[in-house]
Amino acid sequence: MAKKKAQATWGGRFSEKPAELMQRFSESVSFDSRLAPFDIQGSKAHSAMLAHVGLISKKERDAIHRGLDTILAEIAAGKFTWDVQLEDVHMNIEQALTKRVPAAAKLHTARSRNDQVATDMRLYFKAACTEIIQRLDAAQRAILGVAEQNRDVLIPGYTHLQRAQPVFLAHHLFAYLEMLQRDAERFAAVADHANWCPLGSGAIAGTTLPIDREFTAKTLGFTDAAGRPRVTQNSMDAVSDRDLYIEFASACALVGVHLSRMAEDLILWMSAEFKFVDLPDMFCTGSSLMPQKKNPDSMELIRGKSARLQGNLHTLLTLAKGLPLTYNRDLQEDKPPVFDSHDQTAICLEVLAGTFAGLTVLRERCAAAVADPALLATDLADYLVRAGVPFREAHHAVGAVVRLAEERGVALDRLTHADVRSVHPKFGRDWVTSFHLDKAMARRRGTGMPGPAQVTRQFARWKKLLG
């Protein structure tokens, strides 16, 4: 007989239980307990299938279901005691169930923790993607709100962080909506990839028992649009595949990159040098030393957290690389980075939405910045093009006009007709109308351009898309 009591689930061939140090080192229940609702959902479907094929009785199934429901309620109420000696969420729940329901000893029939954890995680990914898509939507609505309240505001658009051409602020904000929309599509694709049921793969090579994988898949909602069950096609791949984890973390990392770029814009726009916006006090902090300071900490933290999201992706890529098929215990380390990416992406999106919801646009500063006629130098070149001048020649001529204005120390639109005619004979008396901002914007009428007709169209499109 064993000197000490052996481990309850796999201890049959062991004479000693794990060292306390090994238990602390190898436990995952401190982080995978959040999978409990999915683990219980999976166990209910698995036991329903066992009853369906006659491997357990209907009475046993019902007793198992009742026990699992009670445990789920206890977990939800915070009354369940998690035990690190039982390693992970799966064994904690199974042991608690076995104490109450004798039939629970049959629950693990034709199942391994390898296909169990793969199933739990696929259910988890489907839920997590739905949640992130909702948060992306909420962030998009907050951004759309700012665009709507400032429909007529123009700002300079920048390349190389140098003033380039005028755009409606709404057009700039719509660029953010496009980024977040692609993110939502990515999470929808991840959820679709998650939608295959691995149960029945066993530890590596399935089972000799007459199970019905399609039944389990259907019960768990792993189905296609027509309601047909989707079951994984290779037992070895199903227990060792971690592509989804990487795809999910990658989608989160890309949200992080997008949010970080938006954050950087807002940080610049809040500086005294720009002063296009003021961020809400509720999402800023002060300095413990300099009484005048108001810092855009929410945006800086988003920028910082994007690094963490990239780190999580990298952890997962490195974890999977070089692992021989199939399951290796290394793979337990796949959960902390996934959960962290999920939680941090969710809170970043919430904070971004909150910050946009309370943002004030400083219209006069925007108007002053966009009034610079140099922003319409390209329009002046287009004026010459309309008069039949080849673009390269027009570009050169306007360059000379810019230099002349600089030499004279005047704004571009303050030169005389004679001045510009001396540069190029095709400048007519109406040359200066090129600097009329309203007309200049109205000319930008093609799809995807920042002209007022397009902006109106995009408002309609986003309102429809975001409901």
Whether the bond between 326 and the residue before it is cis, its omega within 30 degrees of 0, is yes
Contact of 148 with 459, CB cutoff 8 Å: yes
Q: Which is nearer to ligand ARG, 329 or 392 (CB)?
A: 329
If the CB atoms of residues 127 and 362 are measured against ligand ARG, the closer one turns out to be: 127
Of 50, 313, 331, 380, the one binding ligand ARG (CB under 6 A) is 331
Binding of residue 315 to ligand ARG (CB under 6 A): no
**Contact range with ligand ARG by CB under 6 A, out of 73-81, 111-119, 138-146, 267-275:** 111-119
Tokens of 123: 């259910």
Q: Using CA atoms, how far apart are residues 383 and 421, in angstroms rounded to an integer? A: 13
Q: Does position 28 bind ligand ARG by CB under 6 A?
A: yes
In this structure, are residues 74 and 33 in contact, taking their beta carbons and an 8 Å threshold?
A: no
Q: Which helix (H) or strand (E) holds 192?
A: helix 169-194
User: Binding of ligand ARG at residue 319 (CB under 6 A)?
Assistant: no
Interface with ligand ARG by CB under 6 A: which range of 324-332, 356-364, 367-375, 381-389? 324-332
Q: Which of 43, 98, 114, 201 binds ligand ARG (CB under 6 A)?
A: 114
Counting contacts by CB under 6 A, is residue 249 touching ligand ARG? no
Give the strand pairing for 154-159 and 162-168.
antiparallel
State the nearest-atom distance from the C-beta of 127 to ligand ARG, in Å.
Answer: 18
Neighbours of 172 (CB within 10 A): 19
Query: Is 341 part of the annotated catalytic residue set?
Result: no
CA torsion sign for 407, 413, 415, 421 is: positive
Q: Check residue 206 and give left, alpha or beta (phi > 0: left; psi -120 to 50: alpha).
A: left
How many whole angstroms separate alpha carbon 389 and alpha carbon 342? 56
Phi, psi of 167 (to 5 degrees): -140, 155
332 scored as a contact of ligand ARG (CB under 6 A): yes
**Of the candidates 245, 248, 283, 327, which one interacts with ligand ARG according to CB under 6 A?**
327
Q: Please, what's the largest Cα pairwise distance for the chain?
A: 108
- Catalytic residue, chosen from 47, 160, 260, 424, is 160
Nearest to 138 by CA among 447, 393, 350, 455: 350
- Scan residues 83-102 and list those touching ligand ARG (CB under 6 A): 88
CA distance 200 to 167: 57
113 binds ligand ARG (CB under 6 A): yes
Find the binding residues for ligand ARG in span 29-58 (CB under 6 A).
32
CA–CA gap between residue 361 and residue 168 (Å, rounded): 13
Residue 417 designated active-site: no
Question: Of residues 65, 287, 395, 422, which has the active-site annotation?
Answer: 287
Nearer to ligand ARG, 330 or 406 (CB): 330
250 forms part of the interface with ligand ARG (CB under 6 A): no
Nearer to ligand ARG, 114 or 310 (CB): 114
Which range, of 315-323, 328-336, 350-358, 413-421, touches ligand ARG by CB under 6 A?
328-336
List residues binding ligand ARG (CB under 6 A).
28, 32, 88, 113-114, 117, 327, 329, 331-332
